[in-house]
A and B are shown apart, each in its own frame.
Chain A
Amino acid sequence: MSASGDAVLAERIVKRYGAKKGAAEKRALDGFDLAVRSGTVHGLLGPNGAGKTTAVRVLATLLRFDAGRAEVAGLDVARRPRQVRSRIGLAGQYAAVDEVLTGRQNLEMFGRLFHLGGGARRRADELLEQFDLVEAADKGVTEYSGGMRRRLDLAASMILAPPVLFLDEPTTGLDPRGRGEVWDAVRALVSGGTTVLLTTQYLDEADRLASHITVIDRGRAIADDSPDGLKDRVGGDRIEVVAAEPADLAAVAKAVDRVAGGGLVVTDAPDRRVHAQVTDRVAALTEVARSLQDEGIAVEDIGLRRPSLDDVFLRLTGHGAQAPDGTEAAA
């Protein structure tokens, strides 16, 4: 580890694509900074194309970068990639396991390639136990559920019990049960002392797992905070009303405005949706429902929701998580 106690350190990393003559240069990372404290789960949160995967691939020695400095487990990534590789685990966006082999055969194969020699078999047994795959150990991976595949993928990335683990969107494409399984496995790893850098598009995933979150947008870190700190900045829960008739939108916005405490009321006309941040969730919901009923305004839906990645982006960058296309207009 570096003297600062950071297991992962990135300073002003630049990664250019298409830098050849003729092609327009694209900066996947544009002065990216990151510091992950040892023994913590750090969330890297951002929409598609923000640079999350590029950041992980750079730190995991898979991609060379053009400028800046990166250190993993106290080792310079650019100068000592081989040594870095024996101290990291990587689980990418797909379960990178051999579909034809059994779970056990996969872990033994990767174990031998991690140079465990005769110890590969014993390590496979330990990992099958740890990731709750003993029953399925001798079945082909094709028979595994999505959650089981990801758990096997995690197990393969933990063969050397590396001090630093990179997880690139570990739950994308999983059903809620699979997500829960992966979350439990990640929590168990961290209690064993592993440092985890986790990328995700879901604020609630980062919130549940990470003790620290870096928000990335267009190749740059735009916020770096604890989950609570981030949510405070973004604001708490939001009330959301969907009007039955477009003509009622103004009246709905007025009713919502009364409970918004002077906050911004957002009207999303194409979806007939009005939403605003509230402090007292239940009182706000009751109040809006009553006043709409009193005025005889029909609503399609009314409810409370937690802030989403979209809200984080709207607040931090002024544009939504998706490319701004005018669908969200402030009222």
Chain B
Amino acid sequence: MTALELPATTGRERSRAYWALADCWNVTRRSLTHYQRQPLAIVWQLGFPIISVLLYGYVFGSAMKVPGGGDYREFLMPGMFATTMTLGFMNTAMAVVTDAGKGVIDRFRSMPMAPSAVTAGRGAADLVVASAELAILAATALAIGWRADGGPPAAVAAFGLLLLLRFSLIWVGVWIGLLVPNAESAGGLYAIAFPVTMISSAMVAPSLMPGWLGTVAAWNPVSSTVTAARQLFGNPVAGGGTWIEEHALLMALVWPLVITLVFLPLAVRRFQRLSR
């Protein structure tokens, strides 16, 4: 816990890079302390995906079929993992808009700390929480019979791609958090975020949807990560044979990079605009 801490007397002469990292860690630590102070928050946050797994797996699952055969729950689990990663950007946005509204971001900006740490620390904490979410979801999935048949290295790669998607969406969350006026309007974004996860291959194969909707769903960045994870986990893929579905592994890397390239500069610009 205290690896980066030094007595004040020796601390001041450290380099800028050292302090950028130390500041980032302290902001991360602050966010993680929230979960220690509010254990219920993490129960709610994890409860939603677990309940979703059970609802979709057993309620809808009974009526769902997977094109090309295969067990629906096997098909569903990578979709639930990706859905949880995608909706996670709302947590980032909520945390940022709350800090901005209470003046905590202004306090940070008036302090001699590294400005980058304000958002980088938030992002690092989000990735730690996302890893915990994936671990608990995977445990739930294993308990209801899901298996990763592709072998441990492929499974690790699949979880890596899921976290990469979450990483790219941190910047969407930070940008939105700095854009919207208050937490209430940020909450309204669920109305957009939810369809984004539904119109994808996460729960239903795009080939079963009406043609145009299937195309939109197949090109949804979430779908590439879901399909790539299914391939790596050795779960039923149910691909429709389109180019985008055939290149899921590549696109599961490309999409998050594109999202990061677009939204990281937007988030940074928004942050800098605070001083205009």
Chain A residues within CB distance 8 Å of chain B? 57, 60-64, 82, 85-86, 88, 90, 92-102, 105, 109-110, 112-120, 140, 156-157
Contacts and interface: CB of A to CB of B under 8 A. Distances in A.
B11 A115 contact: yes
Contacts, number: 99
Given A62-B274, A113-B27, A116-B8, A82 B104 contact: no
Residue among A94, A99, A100 facing the most chain B CB atoms (10 A cut-off) = A100
Given A64-B275, A64-B276, A99 B111 contact: no
B33 to A, nearest CB: 6
Interface string B1-21: 010011110111000000100
A255 B34 CA distance: 65
Residue among A109, A115, A140 facing the most chain B CB atoms (10 A cut-off) = A115
Given A63-B275, A118-B6, 9 more contacts: A95-B102, A112-B5, A113-B113, A115-B19, A115-B22, A116-B11, A118-B2, A140-B37, A157-B107
A156 B111 CA distance: 11
B109 interface: yes
A220 B229 CA distance: 61
B111 to A, nearest CB: 6
B106 A112 contact: no
Contacts of A101: 30, 33-34, 37
Residue among B8, B11, B109, B276 facing the most chain A CB atoms (10 A cut-off) = B8
Contacts of A116: 8, 11
A72 to B, nearest CB: 11
By secondary structure, the B interface counts as helix
Interface of B: 2, 5-8, 10-12, 19, 22-23, 26-27, 29-30, 33-34, 37-38, 101-104, 106-113, 117, 274-276
Contacts of A102: 37
Contacts of A61: 109-110, 275
Given A110-B111, A115-B19, A90 B106 contact: yes
A234 to B, nearest CB: 33
Contacts of A113: 23, 26-27, 108, 111, 113, 117
Nearest to B7: A118
A112 B107 CA distance: 14
B106 A92 contact: yes
Contacts of A110: 107, 111
Contact of B7 (A88, A93, A117, A156): A117
